[in-house]
């Protein structure tokens, strides 16, 4: 099944859209595969990008995160985690409100937080309620704890899917 993903900014502002192939659901999360060459329509920038690499992605339906394991040359080269409101699913459509804070991993820098300045800017500009701001901060803390404790999706349980995608890459 093809999933149509819709990332929004607070206030239901369309941010970007792309398609993924649904692989299944585990631990309150949708698991999806992104093919190399897929299109990402970035509404904020008014551009469409071609994503040159494959990915395995996780969309949490009950918690505040999404995760993308980016696969290049047969291996995971980066992991990109969005702090978000829980994803909402309506049939083949999945949407989430991106709360700006991101947790990234790459071999050169390890795990690190980015876009704290964007979070502060959007928090003021888009008038995030204090409860939402706190939710974003708490979700980032929870996400970091998942990584440290090697909890799903960072527990190795997706390695077989990642390896399958890497072989096809």
Q: What is the pLDDT of residues 31-74, one digit of tens each?
A: 999 999 999 999 988 999 999 999 999 999 999 999 999 999 88
Cα 129 from Cα 142, distance rounded (Å): 20
Count of structural domains, the chain: 1
Q: Is the pLDDT of residue 169 over 80?
A: no
Report how far apart the first and last C-alpha atoms of the chain are (Å, whole number).
Answer: 20
Residue 81 near residue 66, CB atoms below 8 Å: yes
| This model's pTM is above 0.85 | yes
CATH number at residue 49: 2.40.380.10
Q: Supply the range of the domain harboring residue 136.
A: 2-168
Find the angle CA(34)-CA(37)-CA(2) to the nearest 5 degrees.
Answer: 40
Strand bridging mode 65-72 / 75-84: antiparallel
Q: What is the mean pLDDT of the chain?
A: 96
């Amino acid at each position: 099944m093809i999933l149509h993903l819709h990332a929004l900014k607070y206030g239901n502002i369309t941010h970007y859209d792309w398609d993924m192939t649904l692989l299944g659901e585990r631990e309150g999360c949708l698991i999806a595969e992104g093919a190399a060459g897929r299109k990402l329509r970035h509404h904020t920038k008014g551009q469409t990008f071609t994503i040159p690499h494959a990915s395995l992605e996780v969309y949490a339906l009950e918690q505040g995160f999404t995760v993308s394991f980016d696969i290049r040359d047969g291996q995971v080269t980066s992991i990109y985690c969005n702090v978000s409101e829980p994803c909402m699913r309506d049939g083949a459509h999945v949407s989430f409100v991106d709360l700006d804070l991101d947790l990234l991993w790459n071999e050169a820098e390890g795990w690190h937080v980015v876009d704290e300045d964007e979070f502060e800017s959007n928090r003021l500009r888009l008038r995030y309620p204090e409860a939402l701001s706190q939710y974003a901060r708490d979700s980032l803390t929870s996400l970091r704890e998942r990584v440290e404790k090697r909890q799903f999706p960072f527990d190795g349980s997706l390695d077989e899917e990642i390896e399958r995608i890497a072989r096809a890459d």
